[in-house]
């Protein structure tokens, strides 16, 4: 469906001061979408994902994926019709990391990004809203690289990353607010 404005409600109300909202023009290719005409026809998409932590003897580790573009990110994917954002995040974490047992901690907020699609709608401008949540899994949880679809988006790698390396490892600057909020929430966990 193509439209110039989203036909769904914003993810968190403006009264929710703790929600993180950012907007970034970003291409998942090395070159940014500078000068993107955001009023032109584009496709609007909605995704959900999460930061998943585990507590180890040396501190907190977070699960990350190397995406189709060779960049380190967090698991996320499209929300199916009728699916709740948190349920979509849980499903995507299972699909992209192989984690079955995760516990919800908190919602982290949402971002919206603009990019040119490289896989499903090649060359089309995409405006994507992404809703993020914080989850925890057991210390002995193992990450599994999923089998990719030939010619489509695929996960190239997975890794547990120490909390103190998250901001540096994340390839997408529009995730800074989400990561910082997740780290602040983790520092308050007992």
DSSP 10-63: -SS-TT-TT-EEEEEE--SSSS--TT--TTS-EEEEEEEEEEEEEEETTEEEEE
Residue 66 has pLDDT above 90, yes or no: yes
User: What distance in Å separates the CA atoms of residue 111 and residue 19, rounded to the nearest whole number?
Assistant: 10
Residue 74 has pLDDT above 70, yes or no: yes
Q: What is the pLDDT of residue 91?
A: 97
pLDDT in tens, 28-43: 333 345 555 555 688 8
User: What distance in Å separates the CA atoms of residue 109 and residue 128, rounded to the nearest whole number?
Assistant: 14
CA distance to 105, 128, 183, 185, per residue, from 188 (Å):
12, 31, 9, 5
Cβ-contact 175, 111 below 8 angstroms? yes
Lowest pLDDT segment from 24-28, 56-60, 156-160: 24-28
CATH 3.90.79.10 is right for the domain spanning 23-187: yes
pLDDT in tens, 95-154: 999 999 999 999 999 999 888 877 666 677 889 999 999 999 999 999 999 886 555 678
Residue 175 has pLDDT above 90, yes or no: yes
Q: Where are the domains of the chain?
A: 23-187
Work out the average pLDDT over 47-63: 97
pLDDT in tens, 77-99: 999 999 999 999 999 999 999 99
């Amino acid at each position: 469906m193509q439209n110039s404005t989203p036909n769904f409600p914003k993810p968190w109300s403006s009264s929710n001061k703790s929600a993180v909202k950012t907007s970034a023009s970003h291409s998942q290719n090395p070159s940014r979408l500078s000068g993107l005409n955001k009023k032109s026809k584009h496709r609007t998409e909605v995704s959900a994902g999460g930061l998943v932590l585990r507590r180890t003897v040396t501190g907190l580790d977070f699960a990350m994926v190397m995406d189709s573009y060779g960049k380190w990110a967090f698991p996320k994917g499209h929300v199916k019709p009728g699916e709740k954002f948190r349920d979509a995040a849980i499903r995507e974490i299972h699909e992209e990391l192989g984690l079955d047992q995760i516990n919800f901690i908190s919602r982290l907020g949402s971002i919206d990004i603009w990019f040119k699609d490289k896989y499903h709608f090649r060359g089309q401008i995409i405006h994507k809203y992404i809703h993020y949540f914080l989850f925890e899994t057991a210390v002995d949880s193992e990450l599994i690289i999923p089998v990719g679809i030939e010619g489509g988006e695929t996960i190239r790698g997975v890794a547990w990353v120490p909390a103190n390396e998250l901001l540096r490892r994340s390839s997408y600057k529009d995730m800074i607010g989400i990561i910082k909020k997740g780290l602040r929430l983790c520092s308050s966990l007992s």
